[in-house]
């Protein structure tokens, strides 16, 4: 009761602070509203945002699709450090990262994945990341993050049936600039970041370097072992070498590396997590360790009548994760997964020049190859024996090698029917080959149990046509109406589980069709923009997890669902120094078909898990001069994530929760200092929850209230 009262008081305080900001905003509007006889407002118009989400540069407000763009300046102003925090700034994007950084469940417009391959494409500087385990990366030295909602199969291919997240990093130019920042906060939070970009040969050769190091002691105490359960120690590096020998050619070589270490799987009974989110009682200390290296070479050539683009990417990603998955002090089960992925991607595009013309076109080839090795060892202890899970303490071991290879042909045309109407049509042919070699066994004392060994050697080929069509009507420079329809698909795969029944050895792709209509409007002397999109997604051949009597669970194409709703975004610059950003989404995502024969349950009509019905975000920020060379900065954010379910049975529910963030600081000519707080109301919520057979619901708590200070200098 006392905690609830304190939260109400804090919420009123945050509301009053927001109201005070808005009153100041209203006064500023009254003072600064332009008239024909005084300032025109040009100095505080909204900056035009250029995006490359459709693989060619275009103004955000001119692209006939639902796209959000979070710029590097906005990332800095909000103190964003991860993709999960980006999701709280974007309508209809929900990301749950739990256990360790390996487990990132990304949902967009009610479509996502909690297993297998991702349903959302993830790209960094044009290079696709094939596993959602790679998504939770440090965001530093970023130019912008673009979020495309709806299937993007034509330009991006498989595993983009929900949408695409496209990250563009900052590139070096002729301007020499350097920046270093340091921060500290509660829970032992420490961070150090730095970057430098400079020309090596003016107009010809440029170098960019950036690095980030972050540590924290952990949010959760493991009272059973007397230590922190989720400490972190992360380092990231990035380097870019850009060469422009002529005005029509540029080449960029990029290198990046990650080393993440930390505690993982701070799990406990759901009710205990709700009552005491800062503690767990685990008999085993988990960890989640990652080492990754990536490189890419991007070539762009403006030849006569055609623009040629080549992007070659290589990634080597290793992850070692182990945790107490029963979330209790009992010696039931510990699970360790070691994963090693190596991927090569190559894309070659030809496109019409970036000039105004009646017909614009693009055609391309895409190739990828990925080799994955997975070793999973589940250790069942003495309490598992007592509960009847196994006859004696033993290990369940899975050793799998997967080889994936594929290629695609794609093309897209934009035809301007009239000065105001443009028709877009695109088509892609995807061809994927999959192979798995897997060996499973039960071990006692390191010796295989007779009769427990099994093998799976299987291969599949998937072929898919992915069309898109869109119609855009732009009656003047400030308004765009559009409608589009597109198809997406998520590749099929294999059930890499113990003793798989041959009938369940593999599963087919799932497909989505997205229908969308929208409006993009800019007004009030380019100080206001408003975007609205209505959508309907039909998902068929849906990959769902179902229980079986013999092996626990498998993935089957047993579901169909639909998702429909709307998303809206508003950006406003009402007066010098003021910025307002707001977003809202409503999503009704339900199963049309889903019957679990083992449980004897029909889930048709149930809500799709991990899809908030409503999401809302509001940010109000102000920069106000103090003295001759300093600026006072303030930013207040309100974020609301609506209620949703964790499971297909809709038995585990997360209620709606609110996050309040505040950032205050002083900015000089070449330095900044900020005080910040996130989740100031210390709102309790679960980051993830699931039902553990025989023990009941398990959960991991969301991030508590954090606060700290950050200082930076620019040179």
From 616, 661, 671, 658, select the one nearest 634 (Cα to Cα). Answer: 661
pLDDT at 158: 87
CA distance 105 to 119: 9
| Cβ-proximal residues to 658 (8 Å cutoff; 6+ apart), any chain | 11, 638, 639, 640, 641, 681, 683
From 530, 532, 531, 623, select the one nearest 572 (Cα to Cα). Answer: 530
Question: SS3 of 429, please?
Answer: strand
Chain CA centroid to CA 631, Å: 33
Measured in degrees and rounded to the nearest 5, phi and psi for residue 708 equal 180, -165
pLDDT at 7: 53
Mind listing the pLDDT tens digit for each residue in 137-183?
A: 888 899 999 999 999 999 999 889 999 999 999 999 999 999 999 99
**Cβ neighbours around 20 below 10 Å, total:** 12
CA distance 33 to 24: 14
From 473, 471, 512, select the one nearest 491 (Cα to Cα). Answer: 512
CA distance 205 to 439: 51
Which stretches in the chain have pLDDT values below 50? 1-3, 6, 9-10, 16, 19, 23, 27, 30-42, 550-551
pLDDT at 24: 54
CA-based radius of gyration for the chain: 26
CA distance 602 to 365: 43
pLDDT at 551: 46
From 438, 411, 407, select the one nearest 424 (Cα to Cα). Answer: 411
CA distance 501 to 550: 9
pTM higher than 0.95 for the full model? no
β-pair type (120-124, 163-169): parallel
pLDDT at 115: 76
| Cβ-proximal residues to 662 (8 Å cutoff; 6+ apart), any chain | 14, 17, 635, 636, 637, 676, 677, 680
pLDDT at 568: 98
């Amino acid at each position: 009761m006392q905690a609830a009262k304190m939260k109400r008081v804090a919420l009123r305080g945050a509301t009053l602070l927001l109201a005070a900001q808005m009153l100041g905003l209203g006064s500023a509007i009254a003072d600064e509203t332009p008239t024909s006889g005084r300032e025109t407002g040009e100095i505080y118009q909204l900056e035009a945002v250029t995006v490359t989400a459709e693989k060619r540069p275009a103004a955000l407000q001119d692209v006939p699709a639902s796209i959000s763009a979070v710029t590097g300046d906005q990332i800095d102003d909000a103190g964003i450090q991860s993709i999960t925090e980006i999701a709280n700034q974007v309508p209809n994007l929900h990301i749950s990262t739990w256990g360790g950084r390996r487990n990132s469940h990304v949902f967009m417009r009610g479509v996502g994945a909690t297993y297998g391959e991702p349903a959302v494409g993830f790209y960094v500087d044009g290079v696709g990341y094939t596993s959602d385990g790679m998504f939770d990366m440090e965001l530093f030295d970023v130019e912008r993050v673009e979020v495309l909602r709806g299937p993007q199969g034509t330009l991006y291919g498989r595993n983009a049936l929900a949408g695409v997240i496209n990250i563009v990093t900052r590139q070096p130019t002729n301007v020499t600039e350097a920046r270093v920042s340091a921060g500290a906060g509660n829970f032992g939070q420490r961070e150090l970041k730095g970057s430098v970009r400079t020309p090596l040969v003016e107009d010809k050769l440029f170098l960019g370097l950036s690095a980030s190091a972050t540590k924290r002691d952990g949010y959760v105490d493991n009272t059973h072992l007397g230590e922190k359960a989720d400490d972190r120690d992360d380092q990231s590096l990035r380097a870019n070498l850009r060469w422009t020998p002529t005005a029509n050619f540029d080449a960029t070589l990029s290198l990046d590396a990650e080393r993440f270490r930390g505690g993982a799987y701070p799990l406990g009974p759901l009710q205990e997590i709700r009552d005491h989110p800062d503690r767990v009682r685990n008999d085993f200390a988990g960890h989640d360790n990652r080492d990754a290296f990536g490189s890419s070479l991007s070539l762009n050539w403006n030849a006569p009548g055609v623009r040629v683009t080549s992007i070659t990417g290589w990634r080597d990603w290793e992850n070692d994760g182990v945790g107490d998955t029963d979330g209790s002090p009992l010696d039931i089960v510990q699970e360790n997964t070691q994963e090693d992925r190596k991927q090569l991607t190559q894309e070659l595009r030809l496109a019409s020049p970036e000039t105004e013309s009646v017909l614009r076109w693009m055609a391309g080839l895409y190739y990828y190859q990925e080799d994955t090795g997975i070793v999973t060892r589940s250790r069942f202890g003495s309490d598992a024996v007592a509960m009847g899970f196994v006859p004696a303490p033993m290990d369940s071991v899975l050793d799998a090698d997967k080889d994936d290879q594929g290629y695609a042909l794609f093309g897209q045309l934009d035809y301007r029917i009239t000065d105001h109407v443009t028709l877009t049509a695109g088509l892609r042919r995807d061809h994927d080959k999959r192979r798995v070699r897997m060996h499973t066994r039960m071990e006692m004392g390191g010796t295989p149990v007779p009769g427990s060994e099994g093998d799976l050697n299987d291969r599949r080929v998937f072929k898919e046509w992915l069309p898109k069509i869109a119609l855009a009507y732009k009656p003047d420079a400030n308004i765009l109406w559009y409608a589009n329809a597109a198809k997406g698909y998520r590749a099929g795969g294999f059930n890499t589980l113990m003793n798989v029944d041959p009938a369940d050895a593999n599963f087919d792709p799932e497909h989505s069709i997205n229908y969308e209509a929208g409006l993009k409007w800019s007004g009030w002397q380019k100080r206001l923009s408003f975007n609205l999109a209505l959508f309907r997604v039909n998902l068929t051949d849906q990959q769902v997890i179902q229980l079986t009597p013999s092996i626990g669970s498998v993935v089957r194409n047993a579901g169909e669902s639909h998702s429909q709703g709307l998303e809206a975004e508003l950006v406003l610059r009402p007066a010098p120094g003021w910025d307002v950003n707001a977003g809202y989404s409503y999503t009704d995502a339900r199963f049309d078909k889903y019957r679990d024969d083992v449980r004897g349950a029909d889930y048709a009509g149930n809500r799709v898990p991990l899809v908030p019905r409503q999401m809302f975000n509001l940010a109000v920020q102000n920069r106000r001069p103090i003295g001759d060379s300093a600026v006072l900065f303030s930013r207040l954010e309100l974020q609301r994530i609506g209620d949703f379910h964790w499971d297909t049975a809709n038995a585990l529910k997360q209620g709606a929760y609110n996050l309040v963030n505040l950032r205050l600081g002083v900015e000089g000519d070449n330095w900044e200092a900020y005080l910040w707080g996130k989740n100031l109301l210390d709102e309790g919520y679960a980051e993830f929850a699931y039902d553990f057979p025989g023990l009941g619901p398990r959960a991991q708590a969301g991030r508590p209230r954090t606060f700290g200070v950050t200082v930076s200098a620019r040179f």
